[in-house]
Structure 1
């Protein structure tokens, strides 16, 4: 028994258009493929944990509408514990509008809806359902006051706190003392560290800056370059498998879910980051958010492993 991973965060319905290029301001692009896919950073990470073999519960808030009901039903089908999901009678479920270009890069606009109404009291109530919680995995698509409360509560219970600081904001440094592992991407790491990342060396400098600010362990995701890991001041570069990118949507969420699973199983951070890189590499070869998330046997036995 590895202990439950509690994911606290957002649930959205993603509305995706795949087209030739991401429009510039004022530009209309004709042609493309449309589909809807359950998403939200929190939900994506919870599904990733479940598919990769972790025991996971989700704490979040949805609207009393068809999108909320669909998301909750899909969680049940994936094996995610949904007792911590609350319904908001006043606000709709979150929506994300996503454009994906022919190179697999994306542009995303999120209307948070009920996610923005997840309060500390909601989280405290839900946490009481999971006395066996071992890891808290949290992101920033819910109010910062709720993020801080959840991190402080989890730390007080002796849980490992993993923060995916997305989207980045100026308030994150206030959380650093509560975080065991922070997992920014390049843009987020640059915002938080003030270091421009252009290669592995500058990624190491950015990670060291975050460590000096109070974060115990730093993992910066570097896309095709893999990840930069600073574990208690010791630096490692974790390479990523070479793949043909189709869609980068949710790649970071897959990385974080995989990382949480590996940490819960007692793997070293270096091994956990490697496992996460392999899982994310598979995800970018597929379209969509949750539809791109691999299963455990794909990661463990993939030829990329």
Structure 2
């Protein structure tokens, strides 16, 4: 049996508002549209990975907490459609998380506020309860939306078992070198790389400098996602800039990083060369940004392979 991909993170219900601009404090403006849908970095990455997996179904497990409410029903329906196996602790003392997403109508750029709810209570004990699952994985992925002690413990368990570890350090938070050293791959975007290193990241050369600073902290390798400039892969022996792989006009950038991480994890789990895995992640993201939403925008395996074949 193929080893699974295991992801720790949060689900939130995305409440997405599209308008010409954000309101000022104390101001009310009319928006152009509203969409309620599934979100949360860990959940989005799980959906992206399940959709991108060959054969689909049963390969991607997602560890999280949910409340007992209508938003939890959205989560379970989303995972069922994509083929994600839920590893859920139900928390009747809290609520399923939610996110406010503002989308600028002219550009598709976004600003987000996350209230994690039950998933903000993911604990070390929750992780320990899934120890055997984490140890059985081919790739383990986490982010920083759930409490950091839980992410750290899961990375420790995965590393001790020889599982490939990916940390998507989002949202940006201070991390000590010991935690970074547990990571085979760290996948920040420009602002997260800057927050982790204190170095500006506005181009490929600056991304290389930030990646070097992370390597010096003990990270195995770094992938800096650069939006419209693609991604930079850097380890101690090579540095490769992978240009963006475009699938058409950009509609919305929300979830692009999650699409990348899900696709990247799948390609690594299949034993692809790491630069090929970065290209696979870029293609996954390249398709996702041509569609509105986060989890609903994640492409199927056949779409990714078709884009790579013509790129």
Q: Report the counterpart of residue 137 of structure 1 in structure 2.
A: 141
After TM superposition, list the pairs within 5 Å mapping 1:144-163 onto structure 2: 144-163=148-167
Q: Report the counterpart of residue 166 of structure 1 in structure 2.
A: 170
Question: Any idea what the Cα deviations from partners look like across 1:46-105, whole Å, max 9, x if unmatched?
Answer: 0001000161001100001111122123212321111x2110010000000111112110
Which one of 275, 282, 294 corresponds to residue 287 of structure 2? 282
- Distance in 2 between the 1:218 and 1:46 partners? 21
Q: Does the CA contact (< 8 Å) of 2:6 and 2:63 recur in 1? A: yes
Q: Report the counterpart of residue 220 of structure 2 in structure 1.
A: 216
Q: Report the counterpart of residue 74 of structure 2 in structure 1.
A: 70
| 1:230 correspondence with 2:238 | no
What is the deviation of 1:172?
Answer: 5.0
> What's the TM-score, normalizing by structure 2?
0.94
Q: Does the CA contact (< 8 Å) of 1:217 and 1:229 recur in 2? A: yes
3-state secondary structure, aligned to 2:81: helix
What is the deviation of 1:131?
Answer: 5.1
Which one of 93, 97, 108 corresponds to residue 104 of structure 1? 108
3-state secondary structure, aligned to 1:23: coil
Q: Does the CA contact (< 8 Å) of 2:134 and 2:154 recur in 1? A: no
Q: Report the counterpart of residue 90 of structure 2 in structure 1.
A: 87
Q: Report the counterpart of residue 18 of structure 1 in structure 2.
A: 18
CA RMSD of aligned residues (A): 1.5
- Distance in 2 between the 1:133 and 1:219 partners? 21
Q: Report the counterpart of residue 265 of structure 1 in structure 2.
A: 270
> What's the TM-score, normalizing by structure 1?
0.96
Q: Report the counterpart of residue 41 of structure 1 in structure 2.
A: 41
- Distance in 2 between the 1:233 and 1:27 partners? 53
**Alignment: residue pair count:** 304
- Distance in 2 between the 1:79 and 1:135 partners? 17
- Taking a change above 3 Å as real, the CA distance of residues 196 and 211 of structure 1, as seen in their structure-2 partners, is same
- Taking a change above 3 Å as real, the CA distance of residues 267 and 2 of structure 1, as seen in their structure-2 partners, is farther
Which one of 174, 186, 193 corresponds to residue 189 of structure 1? 193
Q: Does the CA contact (< 8 Å) of 1:6 and 1:58 recur in 2? A: yes
Unaligned runs of 5+ in 2: none
- Distance in 2 between the 1:25 and 1:246 partners? 27
- Taking a change above 3 Å as real, the CA distance of residues 239 and 2 of structure 1, as seen in their structure-2 partners, is farther
Q: Does the CA contact (< 8 Å) of 1:2 and 1:265 recur in 2? A: no
What is the deviation of 1:231?
Answer: 2.5
Q: Does the CA contact (< 8 Å) of 1:241 and 1:304 recur in 2? A: no
Q: Report the counterpart of residue 60 of structure 2 in structure 1.
A: 56
Q: Report the counterpart of residue 198 of structure 1 in structure 2.
A: 202
What is the deviation of 1:254?
Answer: 0.4
3-state secondary structure, aligned to 2:193: helix
- Distance in 1 between the 2:226 and 2:206 partners? 11
- Taking a change above 3 Å as real, the CA distance of residues 133 and 251 of structure 1, as seen in their structure-2 partners, is same
Q: Report the counterpart of residue 255 of structure 2 in structure 1.
A: 250
Q: Does the CA contact (< 8 Å) of 1:208 and 1:233 recur in 2? A: no
Unaligned runs of 5+ in 1: none
